[in-house]
Chain A
Amino acid sequence: MAVTVKIPTQLRSATGGESVASVEGATVSEVLDGLFVQFGELRERIADEDGGLRRFVNVYLSGEDIRFLDGVATRVPDGAELTILPAVAGG
């Protein structure tokens, strides 16, 4: 199952400038792992030592913050869009 992942500008130096990636996976966690296989440098940038997400990283599934769903265990339907964004904006 392919999922579209939108990469924020701040991470594009780790994706060779790509703003979008197509990744296989049934959960957010699997999709992120797939993304890290494609772009190895991304892991240390947005994942913490325990394999979770760093605290200033927001991930949205079709516009919804995954923390309102099941976090990284959230199931991802085929063709869905996952967006990674910095959390430090606003206020």
Chain B
Amino acid sequence: MAAENLRCKECGTEYPLEALYVCERCFGPLEVTYDYGFADDLATLRRRIQGGSQDVWRYADFLPLAGGPPGPSNHLASRAGLPAGWTPLINADRLAERLGLREVWVKNDAANPTHSFKDRVVAVASARARELGFGALACASTGNLGNAVAAQAAALGLPSYVFIPSDLEEQKILGTGIYGTNLVAVRGNYDEVNRLCTELSAEHDDWAFVNINMRPYYSEGSKTLAYEIVEQLGWELPDRCIVPVASGSLFTKVHRGFAEWIELGLVEGRQPVMNAAQASGCAPVANAFAAGQDFCQPVRPNTIAKSLAIGNPADGPYVLELARRTGGGVDAVSDDQIRAGIGLLAETTGIFTETAGGVSVAVLSELARRGDIDPDERVVLVITGDGLKTLDAVRGSFDSYEIDPTLEDFEAAVGVAAI
């Protein structure tokens, strides 16, 4: 399968595979299209995937690179980059039991080089950026993307520019600056950072803004989450997938990943029901879903889930369409529910997720409580980032013991009788 061109999702106008992201005719988003013709039969294709490297490049047939997976070459700044993807899919049986469900799997994308799913999209965007000859990476970030861009640029030996809202979690700021990037904290919210970067990308057309002028390539990287889920389930589909939504790009591309493989016949079954998860403090898509609208009224974010704090989601209309078409939905949960979700996942699976993951867990809990999930369903919960990035969210959420170093004090304080 080879990438063919960029096509406007609104009006269908086609463009060459360059650093373009907006249709000049109608301002719609551009998406990569492929020639789905394969010379190989499906069994051969499956074997090739299974024999591939244990990262996103095992799916190179479905990614928009002209030259295949990146690898070492003679160029000074040329390395394969950070090995993103191929993260664990864990059978969360105790979580399922607590929620009265039969089968829940956790796709733990905290297990990426910079501990979030953003390493996938940055791997693809940066590889394509190098094919197109760009000399610098840049992004507008709510935190995780900044980590991923700064680290990937360091691995590739490229300069980078990371723009973030100035009120981000300290862990995400430190986890970006350490890589030697040009870190720019903007006094404003993410939507203002994004507006600034949209203007900047026009002024600095020699920079690859991964989520602006490289966005059609970048977003394709998220399809690999769906491919991995299918492969790790033994070439089967889940019945339902719960995905957190900020801009909506991840949600639409996980859907697309499943859809492509169903269409090709690589996996059999029906498209999974897609549930989107947002925080009540930033729920433009959930609000629109509840109101029956097909557009999102922007909001001013106020939530502990800062990685999801996009008040003006670029792919919001498509999330609404796909959630409705698959029989899913878009739900929003409170900050308290998010904290409880982080705790529930940690206690039942050993996975410590950041606030965005807490949003996903809390929405799963809510769907289970409402009886929206058939007890026989196989559900996959997408966990996008690591709890060590949002420590403030869990501070004070548990008790501990402080004792003198004596047996007596231990027994007195903890009260566990010796056996």
Q: Which residues of A contact B (CB under 8 A)?
A: 8-11, 13, 44-46, 54-58, 60, 63, 65, 67-68, 83, 85-91
* Separation of A56 and B11 alpha carbons in the complex (Å): 12
Residues in B with CB closer than 8 Å to A10 are: 22-24, 27
Residues in B with CB closer than 8 Å to A85 are: 195, 198-199
Q: Which residues of B contact A (CB under 8 A)?
A: 10, 21-29, 140, 190-192, 194-195, 197-199, 201-202, 209, 211-212, 215, 246-250, 295, 297-298, 300, 310, 312-315, 317
B368 to chain A, nearest CB (A): 28
B252 to chain A, nearest CB (A): 10
Residues in A with CB closer than 8 Å to B140 are: 89-90
Residues in A with CB closer than 8 Å to B212 are: 89-90
9 closest cross-chain pairs (CB), A and B: A91-B247, A90-B194, A88-B29, A86-B22, A56-B27, A89-B212, A9-B202, A89-B198, A91-B249
* Separation of A57 and B198 alpha carbons in the complex (Å): 12
Residues in A with CB closer than 8 Å to B198 are: 8, 85-86, 89-90
Decide if B25 touches A86 in the complex (CB within 8 Å): no
Decide if B191 touches A87 in the complex (CB within 8 Å): no
The majority secondary structure among interface residues of chain B is: loop
Decide if A87 touches B314 in the complex (CB within 8 Å): yes
Residues in B with CB closer than 8 Å to A67 are: 297-298
Decide if B312 touches A65 in the complex (CB within 8 Å): yes
A89 to chain B, nearest CB (A): 5
* Separation of A45 and B194 alpha carbons in the complex (Å): 22
Chain A residue with minimal CB distance to B245? A91
Residue in contact with B298 in the complex, picked from A9, A46, A68, A86, CB distance below 8 Å:
A68
* Separation of A13 and B248 alpha carbons in the complex (Å): 30
Residues in A with CB closer than 8 Å to B317 are: 55
Decide if B315 touches A45 in the complex (CB within 8 Å): no
Q: Would you give 28 A-B contacts (Cβ < 8 Å), ordered by A? A: A8-B202, A9-B202, A10-B22, A13-B24, A44-B25, A45-B25, A46-B27, A56-B22, A56-B27, A56-B29, A56-B314, A58-B195, A63-B195, A65-B312, A85-B199, A86-B27, A88-B29, A88-B314, A88-B315, A89-B201, A89-B215, A89-B314, A90-B140, A90-B191, A91-B211, A91-B248, A91-B310, A91-B315
Residue in contact with A90 in the complex, picked from B10, B28, B250, B310, CB distance below 8 Å:
B310
* Separation of A38 and B333 alpha carbons in the complex (Å): 47
B256 to chain A, nearest CB (A): 15
* Separation of A88 and B195 alpha carbons in the complex (Å): 10
A16 to chain B, nearest CB (A): 14
Decide if A54 touches B27 in the complex (CB within 8 Å): yes
Decide if A90 touches B27 in the complex (CB within 8 Å): no
Q: Using known A-B contacts A67-B297, A67-B298, A91-B246, determine if residue A56 contacts B310 with beta carbons closer than 8 Å.
A: no
Residues in A with CB closer than 8 Å to B22 are: 10, 56, 86, 88
Residues in B with CB closer than 8 Å to A57 are: 27
B28, B29, B195, B317 pick with most chain A CB within 10 angstroms: B195
Chain B residue with minimal CB distance to A65? B298
* Separation of A88 and B248 alpha carbons in the complex (Å): 11
* Separation of A85 and B197 alpha carbons in the complex (Å): 11
- With contacts A56-B22, A86-B27 known, what are 17 further pairs, Cβ within 8 A? A9-B202, A10-B22, A10-B24, A13-B24, A46-B27, A54-B26, A56-B29, A60-B195, A63-B192, A63-B195, A65-B312, A87-B27, A89-B211, A90-B191, A91-B248, A91-B249, A91-B315
* Separation of A60 and B314 alpha carbons in the complex (Å): 16
* Separation of A56 and B190 alpha carbons in the complex (Å): 18
* Separation of A54 and B28 alpha carbons in the complex (Å): 9
Residues in B with CB closer than 8 Å to A88 are: 21-22, 27-29, 215, 314-315
A45, A57, A60, A88 pick with most chain B CB within 10 angstroms: A88
